[in-house]
A and B are shown apart, each in its own frame.
Chain A
Amino acid sequence: MKKLLGVVFMIILAVPLYAEVRLGALFAVTGPASFLGLPEKQTLEMLVEEVNKTGGIAGEKVKLFLYDTKGLDTEARKKFIRLVKKDKVDAVIGPTRSGSTLAIKELAEKYKTPLFSCAASKRIVQPLNKYVFKSPQSDTHAVGKIYNFLHKKGKSKVAIITAQNGFGDSGRTELLELADEYGMEIVADEKFRDTDKDMTSQLTKISETNPDAIICWGVGPAPALVAKNTRQLGLDSMLIMSHGVASKKFIELAGNAAEGIILPAGRLLVAEQLEKDNKFREVLINYKNAYEKRYDSSVSTFGGHAYDAFMMFKYGIEKGGKKPAAMISAVENMGAFIGTAGKFNITASDHNGLDESAFVMLKIHNGDWELIN
């Protein structure tokens, strides 16, 4: 009798186990990358709730297992293994940072679990790993967009100042590599740390080379200091920043010094400025309104990466099911879809599917973003 009860009990327990989609998520909710991880977490929780309210994916509710990586690569590895072994998830969204994603890239293959990364580095999808996708634009695209812009303006003497972290290094590599292709001449190559409080020494060196444009690649408060110090020294070169500063927080920090800065960014920031018939407008405005209504804070492009990753995952489950191989091949044959980052065209050889057109050039004007052509 006891045995029978045990079996019945197990069956009861097992039923919900099979009637739900188990989704794992790894975000840097705390730690230095928390300004990326937090909106990602909030976005994903919002989307999962929405989907469950309307009946789930393919009739099954989604159960979310979300862990904080604290921005640490070792933590990401540990939590990924936990997701796969203990929580038995069907797929994982995240991690937030490039380094963390690269640290678990081979684990995704080892445990045959599809991974939809929210990190930018192109090394996540090149060389290609069958199980790993990514939703943000690559740095290559941002650099290409900037160089194209400068080329059109007839400028070619460029000074770069980059952060000494994963994001800055990868930006620097691309800036140096693509310079020849677009006919740019790099006249200065300076660096700064995230914790630096003063950049005038580096900028003085840059000003001696008299560049047409200064390109700064970094995230957080340090680029705001670069902007302030550039104004302080009275440099009249055009100041260009990366998409890493594409948040209102940056304008707040840099204050007046932010005026006139040019940067490539996803369309999300200027959703309202897009023309009515723009194909991106509806997706962007819907996401923006839902997010801002629920969390009472302004939307950032970073949360959008979690949105796009979730869309890939959702499509994979709907069309392919929970078997990893089938899910992957469904996503690979997804065709063109409009996400917050741009128009995706994922194929078996391109697990990102974005190109330069995912970016638009913006100018900071009167403390707000302005679309420039």
Chain B
Amino acid sequence: MQFIYSGITSGSIFALVALGFNIIYNTTGIINFAQGEFVMIGGMLIYTLLSIYGLPFLIAAPLALLAALFIGALFERVFIKSVRSPNEIKLITITIAASIILRGLGMVIWGRNSLSVDAYIPYKVLELPAGTLTSNSLLVIIVSLVTAFSLSLFFKRSSLGKAFRACYDDKIAAGICGVDVSKIRMLAFAIAALLGVIAGIVTTPISYVTYTDGIMTGLKGFAAAILGGLGSFWGGVAGGLLLGIFEGFFASVLPSGYKDAFAFLIILAVLFLRPKGLFGKKKAERL
């Protein structure tokens, strides 16, 4: 049973990262391989604000989130918007380059050591049926779920959210109807960065932050997005949670050395049998 608890904890982080992938995919049609780096930056930001500037958490967290929106928007303007004659392959390659740049910057600014911050809430071990969960892990799960729900409300209810969905359906038509597609694209990156930074903030007290963290987090989040169906909102969430639980499960029943391999094997199997992912929908196309 322990694997379910730890699986949901790490899975909810994968879910946040997968959502970041999906939001950018839906509005621009590209995969942003720097998504994992946003998580790393989130951890680093909260470390800087809490441990170096000594701000209280209630000020530091909103500051970090604001910075995230700014970084995401800047990222889009610098790396994506300024590209002449963009196409998808070019833009994806650029995000890979950007991820390397961000990682390098992370190393220069924050150094090579793993950094940690104190827990935001008192450390407590919750005894659950056949396992335990720490109060901090519970916080991760709650924050991730709340974030996912509020984001889904934003897309469904607000007019800005509707503009996002219009862009997803058809960029040209959305543009004709008065949606500022370029602004939406910038906002998509801002929101994706925000999601990454939220993930970074909640995980840093548990599992620290190192400048190289983005690679694996990004990869797992990408796998989760693929598993759930690229572009599908709740698919990304479900994909993340499932991937986390698979990993935990394989670590606890099989020799733990093979757990990653098995988790990814499951994903391969899903993709062979259901290429659009578990919850992916195919866009209707006119013949």
Residues of A that sit less than 8 Å from B by CB: 30, 32, 34-35, 38, 164, 189-193, 195, 197-198, 200-202, 204-205, 220-221, 224-225, 228, 232-234, 249, 252-253, 255
Residue in A204, A234, A249 whose CB lies within 8 Å of B252: A204
Assembled-state Cα–Cα distance A212/B260 (Å) = 29
Residues A232 and B132 in contact, CB atoms below 8 Å apart: yes
* Shortest distance between the CB of B104 and any CB in chain A (Å): 9
| Known contacts A202-B252, A225-B207, A233 near B114 by CB under 8 Å | no
Residues A234 and B125 in contact, CB atoms below 8 Å apart: yes
Residues A220 and B114 in contact, CB atoms below 8 Å apart: yes
Residues A197 and B5 in contact, CB atoms below 8 Å apart: no
Assembled-state Cα–Cα distance A78/B16 (Å) = 41
Residue in B10, B107, B212, B257 whose CB lies within 8 Å of A198: B10
* Shortest distance between the CB of A140 and any CB in chain B (Å): 22
Q: Which residues of chain B have C-beta atoms less than 8 A from A224's C-beta? A: 114, 208
Q: Which residues of chain A have C-beta atoms less than 8 A from B249's C-beta? A: 201
Residues A191 and B255 in contact, CB atoms below 8 Å apart: yes
| Known contacts A30-B107, A200-B6, A232 near B131 by CB under 8 Å | no
Assembled-state Cα–Cα distance A249/B116 (Å) = 10
Assembled-state Cα–Cα distance A228/B9 (Å) = 15
The 3 A-B residue pairs whose C-beta atoms are closest, nearest first, are A201-B251, A197-B207, A221-B114
Residues B2 and A200 in contact, CB atoms below 8 Å apart: yes
Q: List 27 A-B contacts (CB under 8 A).
A: A30-B112, A32-B212, A35-B112, A35-B113, A189-B255, A190-B256, A192-B256, A195-B216, A197-B10, A197-B206, A197-B207, A200-B248, A201-B2, A201-B6, A201-B7, A201-B248, A201-B251, A201-B252, A201-B256, A204-B131, A221-B114, A221-B207, A225-B207, A228-B206, A253-B114, A253-B208, A255-B116
Residue in B112, B132, B213, B248 whose CB lies within 8 Å of A233: B132
The verdict on B144 contacting chain A, using a C-beta distance below 8 Å, is no
Assembled-state Cα–Cα distance A268/B114 (Å) = 23
Residues B260 and A193 in contact, CB atoms below 8 Å apart: yes
Query: CB-CB contacts of B1-33 with A at 8 A, as 1s and 0s?
Result: 011011101100100000000000000000000
The verdict on B210 contacting chain A, using a C-beta distance below 8 Å, is yes
Assembled-state Cα–Cα distance A334/B42 (Å) = 53
- Name A's interface SS: helix
Residues B252 and A34 in contact, CB atoms below 8 Å apart: no
Given contacts A197-B10, A200-B131, A224-B114, 20 further A-B pairs with CB under 8 A are A30-B107, A32-B212, A38-B112, A164-B257, A195-B213, A200-B2, A200-B3, A201-B249, A201-B252, A201-B259, A202-B251, A204-B252, A205-B251, A205-B252, A221-B207, A228-B206, A232-B134, A234-B132, A253-B114, A253-B116
Interface residues of B in 108-142 (CB under 8 A from A): 112-114, 116, 125, 131-132, 134
The verdict on B232 contacting chain A, using a C-beta distance below 8 Å, is no
Which B residue sits closest to A233, measured CB to CB? B132
Which B residue sits closest to A195, measured CB to CB? B216
The verdict on B99 contacting chain A, using a C-beta distance below 8 Å, is no
Assembled-state Cα–Cα distance A200/B107 (Å) = 29
Q: Which residues of chain A have C-beta atoms less than 8 A from B3's C-beta? A: 200-201, 204
Q: Which of A30, A200, A255 has the most CB of B within 10 A?
A: A200
The verdict on B95 contacting chain A, using a C-beta distance below 8 Å, is no
Residues A34 and B112 in contact, CB atoms below 8 Å apart: yes
Which B residue sits closest to A254, measured CB to CB? B116
Q: Which residues of chain B have C-beta atoms less than 8 A from A32's C-beta? A: 212
The verdict on B35 contacting chain A, using a C-beta distance below 8 Å, is no
Q: Which residues of chain A have C-beta atoms less than 8 A from B208's C-beta? A: 221, 224-225, 253
Assembled-state Cα–Cα distance A34/B210 (Å) = 12
Assembled-state Cα–Cα distance A224/B113 (Å) = 13
Q: Which of A30, A193, A202, A224 has the most CB of B within 10 A?
A: A202
Q: Which residues of chain A have C-beta atoms less than 8 A from B256's C-beta? A: 190-192, 201-202, 205
Q: Which residues of chain B have C-beta atoms less than 8 A from A225's C-beta? A: 207-208
Residues B5 and A200 in contact, CB atoms below 8 Å apart: yes
Assembled-state Cα–Cα distance A225/B116 (Å) = 12
Q: Which residues of chain A have C-beta atoms less than 8 A from B132's C-beta? A: 200, 232-234
Assembled-state Cα–Cα distance A191/B213 (Å) = 19
Q: Which residues of chain A have C-beta atoms less than 8 A from B259's C-beta? A: 201
